[in-house]
Structure 1
Amino acid sequence: MVKEFLAKIKNLLKKLRIPKPWDSIIIFILNLLISIPVFIILHQNLIDPEWPLHIDRVLIFITLVTLIQLILTVLKKILIICIGFYVLALLFGSLFGDYGFRSVYEEYQAMVYTMAYDPNPQGVILSKLLPFPNKSKIIDAVDYNNPQVRNYAVGAATKYFRDIKGFQKERRMIQCFSVFKDIRNRWIYVNDPHNAEYIATADESLQHFAGDCDDHAILMAACIRAVGGTPRIIHTGGHLYPEMLVGDKADLEIANYLIKEQLFADESRGHEVHYHVDEYGQVWLNLDYTARYPGGPFMSEEILGALTFN
């Protein structure tokens, strides 16, 4: 009985065996299909030592490909089964889950782009900062629950970038970038009254899309918050400007690619994406009216206070 069973298994393996040289070609293709998403996960979770030319990542990828190639060579008798499971897993993720063929392609594309074109970090902003000036007035002015603010924000969030395919997980980020673009295109700088600090509410600034830096920061923060984003306002002494939370370094890679290649390619051409990192490792992009794209150059680097809305 045992001999008959073993004979059946042997015959099955013979049927599954792929003739040379196709077995080596298929093993290598399968190797790449497995190595790319595994490498993306490693790249996003391992600390970046910032070696020149990303040599550490190159060595990791070469080691990973070599290791998987050896494993697949040992398992080449059941190669078809391995391919079937891999394709089915990605197919299931594409149809019913959050991670499928498109996700692998998008994350790989963003990762490679970021490795070639690093965004520009601006250091860490600590939570122990100076008291925020006019804090209570600014909090009240960021009236994101106001119907006028909410209605405008919804319209602005869907005004641009509606033809961008994929990137479902980044939909909120893309909509916030659309809000930034609409306010940025319409904003006109107008000074406060002489020797007075006038703080306009967000719904008030919607009437003319005009005011000084604190009025812009309040309106931007309120609209970003109204569509589900997490904004904060930075105080630098003589200037206030808004920033938007994009997430961790992995999210920054996607944001960097979207800004540079998909959404603000003309505005950001030849320029870096600037950001701050807080003490929790969260990444914040500059949304100042002086920036032509999210993550544009900072007007001032002297950070005195941060006011977060979440």
Structure 2
Amino acid sequence: MIQLNKENFYQIRSKFQLKKPWDRFVIFFLSIFITIPLFIVLHQNLIDPIWYLSLDRILLFIIVFVIVYGVLYALRTIMIICLALYILVLIYGSLFGSFTFNSVFEDYNSMMYSMNNNPFPQDIIVAKLLPFPNKNEILRAIEYESPKVRNFAIMATTKHFKQIRGYSDYRNLIQCFAVFKEINSRWNYVNDPKNGDYIATAHESLLYFSGDCDDHSILMSACIRSIGGTPRLIHTKGHIYPEILIGNKSDLEKVNFLIKNILFPEESHRKQLNYHIDERGQVWLNLDYTAKYPGGPFLSEEILGALTLE
């Protein structure tokens, strides 16, 4: 009886076992397919030591691949079962989960682009800030609940980037970039009255799209807030400009790819993104009126204060 059971076991196992040399080919390619999503997860969650030419990430990929290949080789006698389980997991993730075939491709594409293009964006920690000047008056001027402000912001989202497909997790951010494009393409810089500091409300600035830096910042912040974005104002010596929250450094890779390849490819060609990281590790992208694309060069880098709208 024992001998019969062993024979049955070996017969069943042989049915699920690939013949040589095909087993090694299948193991190799399956290892690649499994390594890529695992590598992306590790890349997004491990501290980046920023080695030259991203050698740390290359080494990480090789280590993950070797481990996956070793495990699959040890299970080569049930390779068909392993292959079927892997396909079922990906199909389930595509139908019911958040990590789908498309998300794996988008994450990998964004990661590879950032490793080869603009790998060291400007990184400034914001801390120990001073009180924000004219805070209460500026907050009153940011009329994000005004129908006129929201209607303008909605108009901008229908005018720019409406045709962009995919990147559903970044839809709101793309719409905020549409607002940025519309305002900055129309903004006309006009000084305040001499010996005075005139703070225009958001709906005032919608009349002629003119004013100084604080007027631009108020309008930009109001419009972005009106459609669900999170803006803030940065105060430097003699200047105020808006920024937008884009998430963490993993999100920065996606945004970097979107801005430089899909949304603002001409404006950002061979240029880097400029951003700040706050004390919680959140990334804020520059939206100054002098910028031709989100994350354009800072007009002034000496930060004195920050006013966040949440």
Pick the TM interval, shorter chain.
Answer: over 0.9
Residue 177 of structure 1 aligns to a residue whose secondary structure is: helix
Name the structure 2 match of 1:101. 101
> Which residue matches 1:252?
252
Structure 1 position 31, deviation (Å): 0.5
Question: Match of 2:148?
Answer: 148
Letter in 1 for 2:296: G
CA-CA distance at 1:52 after TM superposition = 1.1
Matching residue of 2:162: 162
Unpaired runs of 5+ residues, structure 1, are: none
Deviations 1:216-251 (A, max 9, x none): 100111111111111000000211100001111100
- In the superposition, relative to structure 1, how do residues 25 and 217 fare at CA in structure 2: closer, same or farther (>3 Å)? same
Over 3 Å counting, the alpha-carbon distance change for 1:57 and 1:4 in structure 2 is: same
Distance 1:182 1:160 in 2: 8
139-148 or 161-170, larger mean C-alpha shift? 161-170
Measure the CA separation in 2 of the matches of 1:8 and 1:168. 50
Contact 1:121–1:277, Cα closer than 8 Å, also in 2: no
State percent identity of aligned pairs.
Answer: 55
- What are the equivalent positions in structure 2 for 1:210-249 lying under 5 Å apart? 210-249=210-249
The SS at the match of 1:265 is: coil
Give the partner amino acid of 1:294: P
Would you say the 8 A contact 1:260–1:268 is kept in 2?
yes
Pairs within 5 Å for 1:120-159:
120-126=121-127, 128-159=128-159
Q: Deviations over 1:17-55 (max 9, x none)?
A: 112222111111110111111111111111111211111
Q: How far, CA to CA, are the matches of 2:182 and 2:9 in structure 1?
A: 65
1:35 aligns to what? Answer: 35
Q: Give the Cα–Cα distance (whole angstroms) in 2 for the partners of residues 101 and 59 of structure 1.
A: 24
CA contact (8 A) 1:119 1:274 kept: no
Decide whether the 8 Å contact of 1:122 with 1:276 is kept in 2: yes
Cross-structure match for 2:64: 64
1:75-100 deviations in whole A, cap 9, x for unaligned?
Answer: 11222222222222222222222211
Q: Secondary structure at the match of 2:275?
A: strand
How far apart are 1:300 and its partner, in Å? 0.2
Q: How does 1:1-310 map to 2 (within 5 A)?
A: 3-117=3-117, 118-126=119-127, 128-310=128-310
Q: What letter is aligned with 1:189? A: Y
* TM-score, normalised by the number of residues in structure 2: 0.96
Deviations 1:108-154 (A, max 9, x none): 0001111112141231001x311111000111111111111111112
Q: 1:303, 1:3 → 2: CA distance?
A: 79
Distance 1:21 1:142, change over 3 A: same
Number of aligned residue pairs? 309
- Structure 1 residue 170: deviation in Å? 1.1
Q: What RMSD over aligned residues (CA atoms) do the two structures have, in Å?
A: 1.4
Q: What is the letter of the counterpart of residue 15 of structure 1?
A: K
| Counterpart residue identity of residue 60, structure 1 | L
Where has structure 1 moved over 6 Å in runs of 4 or more? none
Q: Which moved more, 1:64-73 or 1:2-11?
A: 2-11
Measure, in 2, the Cα distance between the counterparts of 1:154 and 1:79: 53
Which amino acid in the other structure matches residue 135 of structure 2? K
